[in-house]
Amino acid sequence: MNRALWIALSAAFAIGLWQAIVSLTGVPHFILPAPLAVLNTLIESRELIAEHALVTMTEVVLGLIAGSALGFATALHLMSSPTARRLLMPVMVFSQSVPVFALAPVLTLWLGYGIWSKIVMTILIIYFPVTSNFLDGLQRTEPGYLDLARSMQARPREVMWRIRVPAALPAFGSGLKLAAVYAPIGAVIGEWVGASNGLGYLMLLANGRMKIDLMFAALFVLAVFTIAIHSLVSLLAAWLARRATGAAAS
C-alpha cells in the first residue's frame, strides 16, 4: 500500500473521529464545529482564505529558502574554522533557549507589520536545525575517505567539497525536513503577534469574532500546505541521499 493511500486513510480516520466526538458529546459548534460545517465555510470563504494563504505561503517559502541557505553556509564555515566553531556554537545553542514568542514582538517592532518580520522569524526558527544537522553530517565523514584524501595530498577545499559535503548531504536533507515542519510555525507566530494578513491573522480574527468554523478552515489549509511542503522537501532529501550514494561509489 503506497504512502498516498495511507495518508488518505489516516485523514479519513481523523475526520471520522472528529465527527464522532461532535455527534456523541453534543459539543456546541462555537467550540468544535462539525467537519461538514468547516468544509462549507472553506468553500464559501475560499477567496478570502486563498488571499491570506498566499501571504503565509510566500513567507514560509522565502524563509525556508533563506534559512536553509544560511544554515548551509554557516555549517561550512564552522566546519572549516575550529575557532569559529568554539565561539559561535554556544551562541547558537543559547539562541534556541529564547522562546520564539519573546522574539516576535521585537522583530515586529524593528521590521514592522509587513512580510519581512515573518520571514525573519521563519529563518530564526529553522536556522539551527539545518545548521546543526548539516554540521553533524560534515563531522561524521567516513574516516577512510579522509585518510585516502590525505594520502593523495588533497587540499582542504578539495576535501570539503569532494568528500565532506557529498557525504553530509543526507544529514542536510534531514535538516531540511525538520525545517519544512518548523517554517510554517515561525510564520504563523509572527502573524499572531502583529500582521494585517496571513492565515495566522485570519485565525485570530475568526476566533475574536466567534467564527470558529472559519478558524478551523484556515487551520486545515495551513496543515495541508505544511504536509505538501514537507512532502516536496522529503523528495529533495531523498534525491540528496541518492547523490551522496553516487558520490561515495565514485
**pLDDT tens across 109-153, in order?**
888 888 999 999 999 999 999 999 999 999 998 888 888 888 887
- Compute CA 211 distance to the chain's CA centroid, rounded to the nearest angstrom: 28
What is the residue whose three cell numbers read 491570506?
52
Among the residue ranges 7-11, 15-19, 125-129, 200-204, the one predicted with the least confidence is 7-11
Whole-number Å distance between alpha carbons of 220 and 110 = 31
pTM (2 d.p.): 0.89
Within 8 A by CB and 6+ apart from 69, the residues are none
Report the chain's C-alpha Rg in angstroms: 22
Expressed in angstroms, the distance from the first to the final Cα of the chain is 34
High-pLDDT (> 70) share of the chain, %: 97
Whole-number Å distance between alpha carbons of 6 and 2 = 7
Q: Flag whether pLDDT at 250 surpasses 60.
A: no
In the DSSP assignment, the letter for residue 169 is H
Q: How confident is the model over 183-242, as pLDDT tens digits? A: 999 999 999 988 889 999 999 999 988 899 999 999 999 999 999 999 999 999 988 888
Q: Which domains does the chain have, with CATH numbers?
A: 48-249 (1.10.3720.10)
